[in-house]
A = this chain, B = another copy of it.
Amino acid sequence: MNTKTIELIHGDGGKYTGELIEKIFYKSFDNDILLENMDSALFSLDKGKIAFTTDSFVVNPMFFRGGDIGKLAVCGTVNDLTVCGAIPLYLSVGFIIEEGFPINKLQKIAESMGNTCRQANVKIVTGDTKVVPKGKIDGVFINTSGVGFVKGYVPKKIQSGDSIIITGTIGEHGTAIAVDRYNLKVKGNIESDCAPLNYLLDYLQKYKDNIKLMKDPTRGGIGEILNEVSKKSKLGIHLLEKSIPIREEIEGINEMLGINPLYLASEGRMILVVENDVAEEIKEGLKKEGKCSNASIIGHFTNKEDFVYVENAFGGKRLLGSLDTQMLPRIC
C-alpha cells in the first residue's frame, strides 16, 4: 500500500482508518477524552447555559498566507462560541478527504489544528474521517463543531445611540485568500487575520452588562453583518468611513480587484455593539489586549432609518446594502 497518500481504504473504518487516526490525529490533538476512543466524547459540565455551534470549511487554497484550513476551522468555531459569550471548551472535527491526498499535507493541517487548539485552550475530543474517490471532492473539507459554557453575558436589545466597535483592521482574511488563489503579485505584508478570539472574554466579562451584541465579521464582512443587525433591530446604522480601520495595502489591492473590503471576511476580529457612554472606555481597554491595537469605534445606531450607510471624509453618504452580488467563493 502506498503510504504517502490517502487511499479509499483509509475511510473504511477498519485497520487503516485506525492507523491514520492514531498516527496523525491522536498525535496532533492529544488529550485524554479523545484517547478514550468512544463513539462519543464524554465530559462533565456544571449546570448552566451551553452554547453549541458548527461550521464547515472548504477554503481554497487550503494553505494561505497567515493560516490554513485547519487553523481556520478551529478559529471559526472557537469564535462562534466566543461571540455568544461562551467559553469554548470542546471541539469535534470531521474530515472528508479526497483519495490521493498527500498524507504529509494532512499531517500539516492536523498539526496546525492542534497548535491552534492549544493557543485557544480548547480540546478536540471527537472526530470522524471519510475518504471519497479522486475527483469527487477538491482536496480536504473540514467540519468543526464546538461546545462552550456561557458565563453571564446575554445579548440585549439594541437602541439608537449604541456604539459599534471593531477590534482591529478589516478584510485581511478575504484579501489574503484572493491574493493566494489568483497568484497576484502584490507588495506589502498581506496576511490573513485568522485567530481565536476567546482570550478577549476575560477582559470583556466586566462589561457584560454594557455589551449588547458580539459578532465575528466572517463571510460577508462587516457590511453583511451590520445589515443583518440593522434589519433585526429595526434601527439604522451610521458608519464613519475614516474610523473603519483598514490597512493601506488591503485598500489598494481591493481597489485594484474592484472588491469593496467592507464585504470581505475577517477571521480574527470582533464587532461589539455597546452602550454609548462606555464605548470609549471599552475601546481603550481593548487596545491594551493583544492584537487589538487598532480597535476603533466605527459608528452608531440611529432610529432615523432602517438601513446602513457610510459617511465619507467629506460628509457624503452612501448606502451599504445587503450582499446580493457574488463575492469570492470558498473563503472559509
A residues contacting B by CB (< 8 A) are: 8-9, 11-18, 38-58, 80-81, 83-84, 86, 90, 92-96, 125-128, 130-133, 136-138, 141, 143, 145-148, 150, 155, 215-216, 218-220, 224, 228, 322-327, 329-330, 332
**Given known A14-B322, A329-B8, contact A56–B138 (CB-CB < 8 A):** no
20 A-B pairs within 8 Å (CB atoms) are namely A12-B220, A14-B220, A15-B324, A16-B324, A17-B219, A39-B53, A39-B80, A40-B146, A40-B148, A42-B150, A44-B50, A52-B90, A54-B92, A54-B94, A56-B95, A58-B137, A96-B96, A132-B330, A133-B329, A141-B141
Most chain B Cβ neighbours within 10 Å, of A14, A95, A137: A14
Most chain B Cβ neighbours within 10 Å, of A45, A48, A84, A143: A143
Q: Report the copy number of this chain in the oligomer.
A: 2
- Cβ A220 vs Cβ B13 within 8 A: yes
CB distance from A233 to the nearest CB of B (A): 13
* CB closest residue in chain B, given A11: B329
- Cβ B42 vs Cβ A45 within 8 A: no
